[in-house]
Structures are given as structure tokens and as C-alpha cells.
Amino acid sequence: MFHIAEAFGRNPDYLVDVQEVVEKLDETGIRLSNRRAGFEVSNLEHTFTPVPDGTLYKSRMTVGAEHPLVRGLLNRYIRPRVFPEDMARAWLKHNVEEVGNFEFFLPELYAASA
């Protein structure tokens, strides 16, 4: 279980404070899932793929449910209130900035651990 608490862009309106189940964590990536009443309501997946000059990092966040019993209600009515479009854009900017800094410290950290 991971506890994530972040306010994207230091904006308290964009506060995320969740506990996510770690469904996958290995050298190929990580997948976190948030479930409510047995239904997945969001997930975050980062994948790492070796490429000639380093690692290709892909990130995907899904907010909303796919299960037909809750999809309509959750996605149409709840998602815009819990994770509105402006907050989603703030998360995207946050993710680009966060991941964009990896190249400045991860190679040295990796070399030190090897």
C-alpha cells in the first residue's frame, strides 16, 4: 500500500490524499490501484522500457470506473467533481516536471548502488 499526498502546483484545490494498492512493482514498472466498494475507481501505471540511450518511461493515469454497474454514475457525475479537467492538467504538468528531473539524479544514484 502506498500513501500519496500531493497538491499539484501547490494548489490546495488540487490536493490528492489517497492510499493506493500496489498491484505491480518490478523493473518494468509500477501499477497502483484505488478501489471503492470493490470497484476500481482509479489507477496509475508507470512502465519502464530499456532503449539504447537509457529508459523509456511512460505514465498513464485512469480516473473513473470501467465496470458497467458503476461506470455511468461515477464517470459522468463524480469524476468531474473529484478530478476535474483543470486538476488533470495540473497533474500532467506535475508529472512532466517530476519525471523530467530524474535524469539529473537517477544515473548517479543507480551507479552508487551498483
Pure H helices in the chain: 71-73, 79-82, 85-100, 106-113
Strand partners, 55: 50
Rounded mean pLDDT of 64-72? 87
Q: Which residue has the higher pLDDT, 21 or 71?
A: 21
Distance in angstroms (rounded) separating the CA atoms of residues 16 and 6? 5
CB 8 within 8 A of CB 94: yes
Rounded mean pLDDT of 16-23? 95
CB 71 within 8 A of CB 63: no
* pTM (predicted TM-score): 0.84
Q: How far is CA 45 from the centre of its chain?
A: 6
